[in-house]
Structure 1
Amino acid sequence: MTPDEIGTRLGTLLGGEQLTVGVSGGQAYARATVDVPPDRWRDALRTARDDAELGCDFFDWLSAVDELADGFDIVAHLWSTRHRHGVLLRTRVPRPEPEVPSVVDLYPGAAWHERETYEMFGIGFAGHAELRPLLLPPEFEGHPLRKEFVLASRVAKPWPGAKEPGESEAGTARRAPMRPPGVPAPGEWGDR
């Protein structure tokens, strides 16, 4: 199936209304892209998995994109190992209370991705039993992949050594050239 056919098939199976179907990438890297409302998130992933023509049996990855005032886009990529095609599913959740249903029971491989997205963006996955820290220490505050997250500033310290040759108090002392270990000095080898 072509990316257009995949997107059209999934859109038809999901009812078509409130969906945006398109193609992302180009040529050999083109993927069907389907935007679904948050309340249809699980249905979309289940349909992509269970439909015989789509057969997206492999969960590739899930993450999010911070769209500032528009909220967060949650993105999942599914792949069919039998048909060798993929589909990119997206949904947008509001910024104040970002949450979608978990898909761990549909794709067990999503557990790690949902935990990471929860930790880095603060997006909840209703029904996920173990939304606990994955990459950051437990005392860490905030969600580092949100655009409003302020990065810690670096403390500027003067460099204790000389910046350029000749700028130190010791003068312009030159280091004696050294031979690599095991290389004899000129005159110690060869014909005499």
Structure 2
Amino acid sequence: MTPDEIGARLGALLTPTEVTAGISGGQAYARATVDVPLSQWRAALRAARDDTDLACDFFDWLSAVDEQDDGFDVVAHLWSTTHRHGVLLRTRVPRAAATVPSVVDLYPGAGWHERETHEMFGIDFDGHPNLAPLLLPPEFEGHPLRKEFVLASRVAKPWPGAKEPGESEGGGTRRQAMRPPGVPAPGEWGPAARRPADGEPDAGGA
């Protein structure tokens, strides 16, 4: 089946008026991309698995995208080992109530992915048997892949890796450094921001 046919088939198995099908990039590796409402998330994954024309029996991966005020997109990729085609399924959840039904009972391989997405984005998966921390220590606070999360290392020291455009290894004119979105200016965050000004008592009253 072509990506267009896959999207149309999955839409026909659900509530067509609430399903939007398209095609991802990737040219020869393009995938059908199907957006479904949250209420049809489990039904969509079940239909992709059980329909003989789709037969997406392999759970590839699941993650999320932070769309800020618009909420989160939860995305899953399924693959058919029989027909050798895949489909991207996507649903959006509101930021204030980021909860998605778990699909671990449909695809046991989703367990690890739902745990990671819960940990990194703060999205709950209703019905998951154990959303325990997977990658971060238990005392860690926050969700590192949310766009408002401040990366402390980018405030404390220059970011490693490739230089900014216009900068060379030999020196010369350097472009003014730019902070990435969400990273405060020096002095606005961390110990320096809490240091008392000259003449002011410190926290201990000395």
TM-score (norm 2): 0.74
- 1:27: how far off? 2.5
For residues 119-177 of structure 1, the C-alpha deviation after alignment (integer angstroms, 9 at most, x for no partner) is: 00000000001001000000000000000001113158xxxxxxxxxxxxxxxxxxxxx
Partners of 1:118 and 1:124 within 8 A in 2: yes
Task: Find the aligned partners of 1:61 and 1:155 in 2 and give their Cα distance.
Answer: 34
Q: 2: CA distance between counterparts of 1:115 and 1:26?
A: 28
Counterparts of 1:25 and 1:31, CA distance in 2: 7
Residue type of the alignment partner of 2:141: E
- Which protein has the bigger helix share? 2
Map Cα deviations across residues 27-79 of structure 1 (whole Å, 9 max, x no partner): 21110000000111000000000000000000000000000000000000000
Whether 2:68 is the aligned partner of 1:56: answer: no
1:14 is aligned to 14
Q: Which piece of structure 1 moves more, 19-28 or 136-145?
A: 19-28
Percent identical among aligned pairs is 77
Question: CA–CA distance in 2 between the matches of 1:106 and 1:97?
Answer: 23
Secondary structure of the corresponding residue to residue 96 of structure 1 = helix
Matched AA of 1:154: A
Larger radius of gyration: 1
Cα shift at 1:80:
0.2
SS at match of 1:138: coil
Unaligned runs of 5+ in 1: 157-192
| 1:117 aligned residue | 117
> Given the alignment of the two structures, is residue 23 of structure 1 paired with residue 23 of structure 2, yes or no?
yes
The match for 1:139 is 139
- 2:27 & 2:145 partners in 1: Cα distance? 31
- Whether contact under 8 Å (1:80, 1:86) holds in the other structure is yes
Distance 2:42 2:101 in 1: 7
Pairwise CA distance, 1:15: 2.2
**Which structure ranks higher in relative contact order (CA pairs < 8 Å, sequence separation ≥ 6)?**
1
SS at match of 2:75: strand
Task: Tell me the residue number matched to 2:156.
Answer: 154
User: 2: distance between equivalents of 1:60 and 1:74?
Assistant: 14
Aligned partners of 2:129 and 2:57: how far apart in 1?
Answer: 22
Q: Count matched residues.
A: 156
Aligned to 2:81: 81
**TM-score, scaled relative to structure 1:** 0.80
SS at match of 2:17: coil
Q: What is the deviation of 1:99?
A: 0.7
Comparing 26-35 with 138-147, greater Cα deviation is found at: 26-35
Please tell me whether the aligned partners of residues 39 and 100 of structure 1 are also in contact (alpha carbons under 8 angstroms): no
| Counterpart in the other structure of 1:183 | none
> Could you tell me how far apart the structure 2 residues matched to 1:16 and 1:103 are?
22
Counterpart Cα distance in 2 of 1:105 and 1:93: 21
| C-alpha separation in 2, matches of 1:11 and 1:18 | 9
Contact 1:7 1:21 (8 Å CA) reproduced: yes
